[in-house]
Chains A and B, each alone.
Chain A
Amino acid sequence: MKAYMGVDVGSVSTNIAIINQDQEILEKLYLRTQGQPINAIKKGLMEIKDRVDYEISGVGTTGSARQLAGVIIGADTVKNEITAHAVAASTVVPGVQTVLEIGGQDSKIIVLRDGVVVDFGMNTVCAAGTGSFLDQQASRLNIPIEEFGGLALQANAPVRIAGRCSVFAESDMIHKQQLGHNVEDIIAGLSQALVKNYLNNVGQGKEILGPVIFQGGVAANDGIKEAFEKELGLEVIVPEYYDVMGAIGSAVLAQEAVNEKGRTDFKGFDTTDFNYYASSFECEGCSNYCEVINIYQDDEVIARWGSKCPKWEAV
């Protein structure tokens, strides 16, 4: 059987998905990146290697470390996460018109019509509408993030919390705590604040029509899902593999790419036997002082980036 692998290396998690020719999900893996993308990629590949006995016919990478992952694995396609998420969403829920995606550090909205992306938005300088905002507040309240969503659903009278900025939200939340509001109501209020911030910030000016799907790590949170449904007045679908959608999209894109070029550049799972590391230096050729990064496979430089001019382009 032919199978395609997608690898999504984000700031918070590294995800791998394997699909068959009919784009059904065969395997998935969710790992924490922990600031060490190279290790996470190797660890992920080793884990998934033991689980599969299919021939991998194509590989795609996405996420903020997509280039790095692409070089190490030998990717057939290296695509940005917006495209990957959109492709996954329309594969999993055909006819989807809006994708809400909230990850650890970024959040985006993707508007599709007839299976084609027609508009998208992505948070720029503000993190108040992302998972890290929830993480922060959860630790402040001393509640494990996994329980957050369930508690929000138990609220009777959610309190209003200023959601424009995570710093303001925090002080507002503390004031409400000190007045004696119970934890469930505060958590529900926080969820609403996040949703409002997301819709005002990322969703600004976008036409949100159903079917709406909600994906990314934060989609595990039922409280947020409910807050979205209330705010939008629409049903919000959380797909089964909500946490690895980027990887699924990337696998679908890999299938397309391989069909087009007729072969794969996948280096095989043995690629994990090599030692990969990066080193950087500051180029002193001009006053830009570019931080140039070398990626090594054992002692050989296999990729290099970070410079503004072509001086360091050739490997």
Chain B
Amino acid sequence: MTMRTEPVVVNMGPHHPSTHGVFRMKLTFDGENILEAEPVIGYLHRGTEKLAEERQYTQVITLTDRLDYVASMTNNQAYVLSCERLVGIEPPDRGKYLRVIAAELQRIASHLIGVGFFLQELGVFGGTALMYAFRERERILDMFEMLCGARITLTYMRIGGVLQDAPEEFWPALRSFLNDMPGYADELQALVFDSEIVRSRTVGVAPVSAEDAVAASFTGPILRASGVAWDWRKAAPYDAYDRVEFDVPTCEGGDNYDRFWVRMLEVRQSLRIIEQCCEQIEPGPVRATMAMLFRPPPGEAYVPIEAPKGELGFYLVSDGTIAPYRCHVRSPSFMSLTLFREMLVGWKLADAIVTLGSLDFNMGEVDR
């Protein structure tokens, strides 16, 4: 007996537990299999780029906090680096090191969230792994609070350096975090990455070849998971990255498992970088002296940085006034949705959710 069946279209999102904000997937299903997938974005559009054109250069920093709101520190960094290139100033050494420390802490925090939500989407009930990830992230946020008083929307990095020197209590907190974090990472790894269920759910699922990843402008962990060792911290070192040693971890398969494995490896590299910064950092000024209100010479600047999610850069055009003429954000999250359809079609509903989790995109950054 043959039964007549027809595909069913399901709108997942914009309100759905695992769409990372307000993301809508228009999926066509044949049973559990995905026949067609279409991303619908724009629910979180706030016109950041246009708003930036009407603010002074310094004021724009607060807007960048709200792009990728789980990694504000690196957003700040990308913006202030472009500004500094535009103005032509260089932050003092201590400022550079503080920036690197803060950025790497932010990378750990962002990867923890990525890994935590990935496991949430694999179905660890009520987010046991997510809670574990949040426990460690909490300590990082506490340290951010010491640095600048804020926990999420930081605005710590300023044009020409950082807001202020790290307070006394920051260094012991950082030290104890550096001591504990490898153990936490091991724990998360044992709970999860050696689990047979996780492996059978993720290994070989939604693979992206190196060629496809490059062609689709993938950057960051999702590119390195496909085996391309590309990292802006190595390719064009900014701040103090040319003075520290670290590896660029890569994986081979480019599947969901690798996309997360590479993040766990990067967390360990970040710890290594912070260790070295702590050794090398010396007392001194943290911020170059410059006016709050400045008019950069007409021109343009684009400094790409390695944000936790990939290449992040602010393309700034100056017309010699106090506000940028144009501020374009090259956001990694937006680019990582390029292969959305190709990655999902043919897989099952449950895989689609996990694949989205493995891309670890952030709607604040996609919609801007």
Q: Tell me if chain B binds chain A.
A: no
